[in-house]
Amino acid sequence: LLDALGDQAALAIERVMLAEDVDRAKLAAETERLRSALLTSISHDLRTPLASILGSATSLTRYGSTLDEAGRLDLATNIQEEAERLNRFIANLLDMTRLESGAVRPRSGPVDLSELVGSALERTGRILAGHHVEVDLAPDLPMVDLDPVLFEQVLFNLLDNAAKYAPAGSRVTVRARRLGDAVEVRLMDEGDGIPPADVDRIFDKFYRVHAQDRQRAGTGLGLAICRGFVEAMGGAIAAGNRSDRSGAVFTLTIPAAADLPALEDSSL
């Protein structure tokens, strides 16, 4: 009897192991499929701006001398914009890799939020040149506990999106206020906003509401990086839509620096 039971047990174990092998093989196949889809998408995102750079550079070298000043400037501007796009994409890929490998270890320490907002706006100056930017920071803002480099990247990604998804000439608002032991920063735009069904998904890696939209090229990585960075710094980020008009709102909640007096209002 014991032998028979032993055989049965061995058989059952064998079956479970076989099922596990099948699961493992399925998982490996799915991982491989995702990896190759990812490579295709990344190659496409790299090649599109590169093709445009090559096209404009070739026109400049071949026909530059026959063009007028404005024509040459057009080509040079296109090269610059596409190179910047390429640069942002590669920076996003590197940031994502750092996040996923656990290599992001935020520095902490008291930081002046208004300085960070100022430098993020400086970096996005050219991108947001066609928009009206309004900054409204409460005068009693405390220092915040943040890694300035990571947080500036978060603000940059959100402002870059506002420039991309809200029409030229519209208003982009950055507002910050104290909320108990935290500071709430809100970025609002006047674009179409985010379809309610997508609000929870836009922070997923590679998720884009209009995936085929080549006009507003993107990688679907910007917001995933924002969430990763903000959470690594002990904060939170949420997306929503404005109630007063159409437009997206991104709300960041970040811890105030402990035991530090509120900043003096510099205008006093």
Site size for ligand ADP (CB under 6 A): 21
Which residue's beta carbon is nearest to the bound ligand ADP?
A: 218
Q: Which of 159, 165, 227, 229 binds ligand ADP (CB under 6 A)?
A: 165
Contact call for residues 147 and 106 (beta carbons, < 8 A): yes
Minimum CB–partner distance for residue 219 and ligand ADP (Å): 4
> Interface with ligand ADP by CB under 6 A: which range of 7-15, 39-47, 140-148, 159-167?
159-167
Q: Is 240 exposed, middle or buried (0-12, 13-18, 19+ CB in 10 A)?
A: middle
Minimum CB–partner distance for residue 150 and ligand ADP (Å): 16
In the complex with ligand ADP, the residue whose CB is nearer, 191 or 235, is 191
Q: Which of 75, 128, 141, 202 binds ligand ADP (CB under 6 A)?
A: 202
Asked if 86 touches ligand ADP (CB under 6 A), the answer is no
Q: Which of 223, 230, 233, 257 binds ligand ADP (CB under 6 A)?
A: 223
Q: Which of 150, 174, 185, 248 binds ligand ADP (CB under 6 A)?
A: 248
> Interface with ligand ADP by CB under 6 A: which range of 56-64, 101-109, 156-164, 227-235?
156-164
What b/e string do you get for 63-86 counting C-beta neighbours within 10 Å, with b at 16 or more?
A: eeeeeeeeebeebeebbebbeebb
Instruction: Name which of 171, 186, 184 is nearest 253 in CA terms.
Output: 184
> Edge to edge, what strands does the sheet with 171-179 contain?
132-137, 171-179, 182-188, 248-255, 236-241
Asked if 189 touches ligand ADP (CB under 6 A), the answer is yes
Asked if 173 touches ligand ADP (CB under 6 A), the answer is no
In the complex with ligand ADP, the residue whose CB is nearer, 142 or 191, is 191
Enclosing H/E stretch for 174: strand 171-179
Beta-carbon contacts of residue 176 (< 8 Å; ≥ 6 apart): 113, 117, 136, 137, 138, 141, 183, 184, 185, 186
In the complex with ligand ADP, the residue whose CB is nearer, 41 or 59, is 41
Q: Is 49 exposed, middle or buried (0-12, 13-18, 19+ CB in 10 A)?
A: buried
Contact call for residues 116 and 148 (beta carbons, < 8 A): yes
Q: Which residues bind ligand ADP (CB under 6 A)?
A: 157, 161-162, 165, 189, 191, 193-194, 202, 207-210, 218-224, 248
